[in-house]
Amino acid sequence: MQNVKKVVAVGALALVVSLNASAEFLQPTKIIAGSDITFSPYEYMNQGKPAGFDIEMLAGIAKQLNRQVVSVDTRFPNLIPGLRGKRFDVTNSAMYITPERLKVIDMVPYLKTGQQILSLAQGAYQPKTPDEFCGHKVGTMAGSSFLQHLQNFSDTQCVKQGKPAIQISEFPTDPQTTQALLSHAIDAQITDVAVAQAAVKKLPGKVAVTSTTLLYPVLMGIGVRKDAPDVKAAITDGLNKFRKTSDYQQLFARYHFTAPTEQEIQSLTAE
C-alpha cells in the first residue's frame, strides 16, 4: 500500500512539474518577451545585446523558473497587440499598469515610478508642472500612458478653462521625442522619471528636468495574456522567489530604484 501511495504521490508531482513547465509558454525552457528596446535605462541595446533594468529583472525571474529570456524588439504601440496575438509570452517594457490596459491584458507589478518634464537646458520655457503646458507643443512616445495624461489635462484644464489646448506630438520612440525637443519641434517632453534622468546624463547642458515633483505615480507591470493564467502564475511565483535573493536587492541598488511595498502595490492597483 505504501508503494502505491508513493507511486501516486510521484505521479502527482510529475504532473504538477509538467504543467508548470509548459504553463502555456510558447517555447519549452524559454520566456519570449516583447520589449521596446529604445527606453534606457529600462531596456536598450549594449554591444548588440538587450540590457537595462527590465531585461535584468525578467532574467532574474526566469532563472527562478529554470528558463531563459528571448527578447523581441517591438515598438511600444505594437506590444499589447503582439502579446494578444501570441507573438510573445509577456511584455517586458516599462509598461505602466492602467485601468485601460487591465481590460485587455493581465499585469504583474514589479516597480513604482512616475513622470517628469524635460525641457531645453538653456531655453526660456522651462515648465515645472503640466499647468504650464496649455498652448505649448509637448511631445511623448506613442502608445504610452503619458499621452492619455496630456490629452486629459488639455481637455479638462486648458480648453474647459478657456485656455489654448496643448499641442501634443507623438513619436515612435522616446529618443526620437528627445531629438524633437533638441531640434525645437516641441517645447517640452514628458517621460518616465528614470528615462528623463538618463537623458540628462547623456545630454548634459542640453536638456534638463524642470518639473519639481514626481508626476502621476504609478506601478510598472509585466504584461500577460488574459487567457494564459498559468503564465501569470509562473511569472508571479518567479518574481516572489527572486525578491528573496541578494541579486534582487543588488539590481535595485545598481539602478538606484526602490522596490514597491505591498501597500503601494495595493493602493496604486486599486486606483
What are 117-164's pLDDT values in tens digits? 999 999 999 999 999 999 999 999 998 888 888 999 999 999 999 999
Cell numbers 484644464 correspond to 157
Q: Which CATH number fits domain 114-216: 3.40.50.2300, 3.40.50.880, 3.40.190.10, 3.40.50.300?
A: 3.40.190.10
Residue percentage of the chain with pLDDT more than 70: 90
Q: Mean pLDDT in the chain? A: 90
Domain boundaries, the chain: 2-113+218-270, 114-216
Q: What is the pLDDT of residues 79-108, one digit of tens each?
A: 999 999 999 999 999 999 999 999 999 999
Do 2-113+218-270 and 114-216 share a fold?
Answer: yes
Query: What's the CATH code, domain 2-113+218-270?
Result: 3.40.190.10
Burial tier of 48 (Cβ tally within 10 Å: 0-12, 13-18, 19+): exposed
pTM value is 0.77
Q: What is the DSSP secondary-structure string of 68-127?
A: EEEEEE--GGGHHHHHHTTS-SEE-S--B--HHHHTTEEEEEEEEEEEEEEEETT-S---
CA–CA distance, 204 with 186 (Å, rounded to integer): 19
